[in-house]
Amino acid sequence: MLVPPGRYGRWWAALIILVAGAALFGAAAVQIVRHPAYNGQFPWSIPVFFTCAVAYIVPMFHFITRRTHQCLDTLEPYVASPRRRAELRAAIDRRSLAWTLRSAGAASALWLVQSRLLSGSWENVWTGLTANFASGVFAIGPLFVWLTMYVAMSALVQNALTFRRLVPDLETDIFEPESYMPVGSMAVTSTLVSLGGMALMSIMWLGGPIDWWTTLPGLVIFAPFVVLLLLLPVWPLHRKLLAQRKAEVQDAQRVLRRAREPKVHDDAALARQAAALSLRREVARLPVWPFDVGAVFRFIGYAVIVPLTWAGAALIEMLVNAVVEAS
């Protein structure tokens, strides 16, 4: 809904959000730099994060939704019931009003709790909202981030649950990657894109040490979402593929046993035994995860190492300062 139709709709959405955020926070910056308490300096890293987070989440959610539909298109031959296929598409595209209100309410509640922790009292929260234009912009900015991130992540988890419920009905064949790889592709894409959104939180540390309540609640709350995005659809499919490979290995073992029964060492018997051994070896190598495990986890490691390094350096600096002040 927030992404214009057309080939470059996601790029236009990101550009519009970036321009709108820059204009809004730029107007607030004019007031802030004139305030004596800031000595002409503007806390640029926080509004940059607010703007970049929303500009990232909106088009990326649209991208994941389109990729999910492509996944369903690939899996369509393996879902026997047309009614089931229609139910899956409806579950991805439609969200009830009650679900939307619950998600928006939860995001707003989290924003209020974080604002209370940062400001120290509910009175300070209200003052920040109503004191002037600049403080109101900085108070409301986190609300938009909470709303976009929480609603997007909740919708992605709902999609993951939809695919989890699909796995038992999916006519999976371990010898046909098209029957299971799209599920892994969808789960990995959702996980990596969500990790990218969480990694953006490190932008706030670029402007110097900030209150840890600024980033910790988001990391703690959204980290389980990211794990669920990967495990909800992938784990039951992994168990299904594992059971299929076990059955195929047992079949290959029976073929090998039959090939070895006649104790004859002519060329034909040796060829049958070699073929049976090769079959058992190849079956044992069949994948039981719907993605390349090593490549995915290496990429996840590369994605989180930079923000973790920044956050670790900031925490060490805070700890050193606390020790110095205490002594």
The pTM score is: 0.79
205/215 Cα distance (integer angstroms) = 9
- Asked if residue 158 lies in contact with residue 100, where contact means CB atoms within 8 angstroms, the answer is no
Residues 111-145: tens digit of each pLDDT: 998 888 888 888 888 888 888 888 888 888 889 99
What are the φ/ψ torsions at residue 210 (nearest 5 degrees)? -130, 170
Residues 280-307: tens digit of each pLDDT: 888 888 888 887 766 566 655 655 565 5
Higher-confidence position of 204 and 231:
231
Residues 173-189: tens digit of each pLDDT: 888 888 888 888 888 88
| pLDDT at position 37 | 60
Residues sharing a CB contact under 8 Å with residue 319, sequence separation 6 or more, in sequence order = none
User: Domain extents for the chain?
Assistant: 9-238+293-326
- Asked if residue 66 lies in contact with residue 3, where contact means CB atoms within 8 angstroms, the answer is no
Q: How confident is the model at residue 315 (pLDDT cuts 50, 70, 90)?
A: low
